[in-house]
């Protein structure tokens, strides 16, 4: 089995110096063939030049566009693995990561999401789980993907389905990724791109499984500097609207969305979405022609836990 790791990075050299050695070591120790690509997303910290000097075994590319979606897509286009592993630049891996993950890379699986932990837990003597099984809810006009079911609530040695992935660490089957056209660059520079990818796959009837025994550690928020920045808040609102307009086809859910959009309108985000509407409309049509599972059914199923 060949696995291709793709890591986008914008001015994240300090993270890569700390975290990338753990990724390389895990790749070297794996029984799988693992190649690693870092895509420099127009950094100003000499990422490309210094990474090649520090880590000559990896591939370093320059993103010809801008944003995490296009960076990841560019990295995939220059890799050959039958499975793709997407990591943020601020993630540490355990040495057994790829061998543990390989157990879940089955022909009938679309994506594998990981059990993620804090790199620096509040209590250094206890692991702090950040990501588990992702549940799916509809609330106040928008989908919610932030509810996790952690390992402490699950049976040991059981396999479970998930309704989303954590973008900092997940695997995707290349053939399915390519069928979806990769990450949607409308969502560049960042936020909800992995959620959009996962949801489009789920609506086609594809499965996401949960790798409960993986333990990647995330520095949390390091990749985009600050989740509280004005830029990030704007992108969060804009991309949530884009997600609904592009992916939701249920009239009931759309009416609910419009009601809440009016009540909590963000004019800057709304005007940006209106500007992009011709592109959204085309993508919406393309999605509708491929769907096998309705939005209402998916939201009904997605707020429950299922053993695979």
177-231 pLDDT, tens per residue?
999 999 999 999 999 999 999 999 999 999 999 999 999 999 976 555 555 688 9
Gyration radius of the chain's alpha carbons: 19
Per-residue pLDDT, 226 = 52
What's the mean per-residue pLDDT of the chain? Answer: 95
**What is the spatial distance between Cα 83 and Cα 22, in angstroms, rounded to a whole number?**
20
As a whole-number percent, the residues of the chain with pLDDT over 70 amount to 97
pLDDT tens digits, 217-259: 999 765 555 556 889 999 999 999 999 999 999 999 999 999 9
pLDDT at 176 > cutoff 90:
yes
Residue 275 burial (CB < 10 Å; 0-12/13-18/19+)? Answer: exposed
Reported pTM: 0.96
Which tokens hold the place of 114? 């990981």
Q: How many CB atoms lie within 10 A of CB 234?
A: 15
pLDDT at 59 > cutoff 60:
yes
260 prior amide bond cis, ω within 30? no
Q: Where are the domains of the chain?
A: 91-218
Per-residue pLDDT, 225 = 52
DSSP string, 156-197: TT--EE-S---TTEEEEEHHHHHHTTSS-GGG-SSSSHHHHH
pLDDT tens digits, 94-148: 999 999 999 999 999 999 999 999 999 989 889 999 999 999 999 999 999 989 9
Per-residue pLDDT, 208 = 98
């Amino acid at each position: 089995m060949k696995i291709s790791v793709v890591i986008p990075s914008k001015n994240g050299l300090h993270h890569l110096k700390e975290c990338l050695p753990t990724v390389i070591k895990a790749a070297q120790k794996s029984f799988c063939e693992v190649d690693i690509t870092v895509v420099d997303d127009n950094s100003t910290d000499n990422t490309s030049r210094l990474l090649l000097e520090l880590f000559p075994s990896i591939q370093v590319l320059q993103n010809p566009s801008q944003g995490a979606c296009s960076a990841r897509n560019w990295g995939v286009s220059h890799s050959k693995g039958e499975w793709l592993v997407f990591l943020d630049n601020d993630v540490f891996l355990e040495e057994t990561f790829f061998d543990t993950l390989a157990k879940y890379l089955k022909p009938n699986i679309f994506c594998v999401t990981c059990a993620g932990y804090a790199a620096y837990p509040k209590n250094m003597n206890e692991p702090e789980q950040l990501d588990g099984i992702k549940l799916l809810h509809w609330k106040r006009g928008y989908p919610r993907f932030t509810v996790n079911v952690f390992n402490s609530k699950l049976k040991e040695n059981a396999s479970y389905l998930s309704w989303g992935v954590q973008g900092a660490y997940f695997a995707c089957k290349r053939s399915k990724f390519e069928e979806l056209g990769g990450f949607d660059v409308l969502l560049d520079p960042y936020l909800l791109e992995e959620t959009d990818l996962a949801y489009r796959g789920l609506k086609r009837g594809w499965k996401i499984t949960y790798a409960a025994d993986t333990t990647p550690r995330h520095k949390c928020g390091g990749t985009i500097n600050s989740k509280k920045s004005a830029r990030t808040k704007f992108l969060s609102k804009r991309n949530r609207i884009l997600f609904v307009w592009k992916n939701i086809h249920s009239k009931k859910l759309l009416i609910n969305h419009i009601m809440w959009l009016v009540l909590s309108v963000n004019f800057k985000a709304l005007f940006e979405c209106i500007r992009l509407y011709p592109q959204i409309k085309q993508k919406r049509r393309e999605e509708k022609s491929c769907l096998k599972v309705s939005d209402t059914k998916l939201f009904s199923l997605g707020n429950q836990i299922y053993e695979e």
